[in-house]
Structure 1
């Protein structure tokens, strides 16, 4: 089986969707070719899967700011949409495949969902995020949902929403996973200082969560506890200046060994989810969360109480959850985590093995077996 993987990013760039696809294709890269539509880069990073780039015109340049940026986006997504779609299809005609695997993301996601490319082929579609958050639209997502041979969803919540919107259909839960050797023994002791870890760039909507975290850590520091906040690939935050705890900023890296070592060194794995975009938090599961499940430390979830991630973690008692931007609440959550972190971590490992075993997920993905569909 030969797969044409079609998505709006390189498989080898940094990001959650990229990571999910890399992990699904792991060990079978020779059976995959990748077609990338990207309006923000004209160069592909190196990787072990052959990739073809179709730039969405006009490609964004660093000097395109403010009004020029908005004009560029309108030209790319509206004025040149037909031209770019034709270029995508021209590139796809040169590729050999039996399955098209599409990520429902971006304005061009349904470009290959036409008879010319589906005749005698299978269409697998990954639904990682709600279309309102991905620059797609309801019509593209409807078309992909209704024409797909397989619907690979990130969560039960997004499957339920799309079934209501676009019609009942079979689907499978396919997410990122954790390899058996990545799962560590839960930590029985807390370090000094207490190591709190987060990796990733932050949108403005996340800054209030970090301010609340910093205020909570200051209060606990004044009570005699010591903390070190490790931030990997995160921009400098003024809200973290002049605090009672150490902040360690580290640069972006794609080195999995380094990232895993940092995860394993953490006592608390901080998982913030912004409160401002319900269509994001109600349906999506963070790849960061999946990686956290296998680490020795315990997860501190900080975000909306009705999110897909909070439901999953709380139902499995795999994290301490704080559902408010309130310092008192977060202090209480941190105290609870420090007193029961080992038990929380034990249950997180159980969740990782039972639901997020990477080998099982890969086998299901490549088997293409609809008899084991989640309904």
Structure 2
């Protein structure tokens, strides 16, 4: 089966969506699937790493200046970019895929969906984030909601990163079933139990730092300064350096940039807790309620207990708390954050060991990459085959609102 992935980003881009797709790519041959990736270059030129078979089309929207880029983005979303549409039609004619997978992201999403649906072949849809928010600079939300709803209701199957996202799609667009497909863990690294928190505590932050997380990060760093008998190193592995509003004398911010997987694992083994700061601001509520933080799967894979600051209703808070992956704190006053740091410093070896054991359990259940891949490919009537040939299988039932409420 040849499965064409249509998306706004190339497979070596940084971000949670690519991590999910890369993990599925690894398992595709076991299901007799030949993946082929088509992405929008955004006028930046073709990107080829050689690892993922791919080609590209271009809306060239970033070549425009003085506000015309926004106009070009609107034209693409509304389906008026005839050049991009013809490129897609030609790519599909050349590659002849059996089915399509769409990722709801970026301005190219509607035009890719149109090209896929025109063929009459099955179209599967992944929703990793809130599409109407990603295209807000180009198009009014009332229009983007209508476009997304029409596409989602035509998809053969919908994959979401959290049950909260599935419930949101039900409430807003009338979607009645979905399957949860997020990043997974292929193997878990052993970790030595911390006997007691040392004089110098190393905290690790992995992944992109979003503007909505800044307030919580600033507050955490400021509150660390109250513990003058300890030193704290806060390590950031991300694209953009983090600069705190206030940098106490006992807190050192260390920026590593993007590291290789081996370097990242080594750094995590020298760290004591993995940071997961969310936003408590009302305007960020929908994002954190529906999203999945891929940091959770990385911290789980390296057995690094999580220090999570987030509201009760955030999906990440729920997962860390339900699976016992670390400490979760749902209050964000300075007093509450200071108390949370004190609790971290008072962790016992048995507390730390319990978090590690819980992470092993989560890696074998909720985050097991093979199980997640099976959930994805079985939706297409495929299962692991013999000698690379997949055989039909009855797919795992999709979740419905009733099943989610009963969990």
What's the TM-score, normalizing by structure 2?
0.81
Matches within 5 A, 1:332-343: 332-338=339-345, 339=347, 340-343=351-354
Q: Is 1:363 aligned to residue 388 of structure 2? A: no
Aligned-partner Cα distance in 2 for 1:117–1:168: 18
Write out per-residue CA displacement over residues 178-229 of structure 1, whole angstroms, 9 at most, x where no aligned residue: 11x3243463434552110002342333221121111121112x1x122211
Shift of 1:273: 1.8
Aligned length: 365
Q: Distance in 2 between matches of 1:28 and 1:116?
A: 20
Q: What are the ranges of 5 or more consecutive residues in structure 1 without an aligned counterpart? A: none
- Give 1:113-132 correspondences, 5 Å limit: 113-114=113-114, 117=117, 119=119, 121-132=121-132
Structure 2 CA distance for aligned equivalents of residues 341 and 335 of structure 1: 15
The separation in 2 between residues aligned to 1:272 and 1:38, in whole angstroms, is: 32
Distance 1:115 1:232, change over 3 A: closer
1:82 aligns with 2:88: no
Separation in 1, partners of 2:301, 2:76 = 46
| Residues 328, 89 of structure 1: alpha-carbon distance in 2 compared, 3 angstrom cutoff | farther
Residue of structure 2 equivalent to 1:349 = 360
Which residue in 2 is equivalent to 1:331? 338
Superposed CA RMSD: 2.5
* Separation of aligned partners in 2, 1:337 and 1:293: 18
**Structure 2 unaligned regions, length at least 5:** 137-143, 382-394, 401-407
In the TM superposition, what is the alpha-carbon distance from 1:45 to its structure 2 partner? 4.1
2:188 to 182, 204, 212: 182
Which residue is 1:49 aligned to? 52
Question: Partner residue of 1:264?
Answer: 269
Q: Deviations over 1:116-139 (max 9, x none)?
A: 745452211111112332228222
3-state SS, counterpart of residue 107 of structure 1:
coil
Q: Is the 8 A contact 2:100 2:116 kept in 1?
A: no
Q: Distance in 2 between matches of 1:60 and 1:291?
A: 36
Tell me whether 1:228 sits opposite 2:225 in the alignment.
no
Shift of 1:54: 1.5
Displacement of 1:41: 2.7
* Residue of structure 2 in register with 1:96 after alignment: 96
1:100-179 → structure 2 map (5 Å cutoff): 100-114=100-114, 117=117, 119=119, 121-135=121-135, 137-179=144-186
Check conservation: 1:201, 1:235, Cα contact below 8 A.
no
C-alpha change, 1:183 and 1:358, in structure 2 (3 Å) is: farther
Higher mean C-alpha deviation, range 322-331 or range 157-166: 322-331
Task: State the alpha-carbon separation in 2 of the partners of residues 345 and 216 from structure 1.
Answer: 26
Which SS does the other structure have where 1:111 is aligned? Answer: helix
2-structure distance, mates of 1:277, 1:291: 23
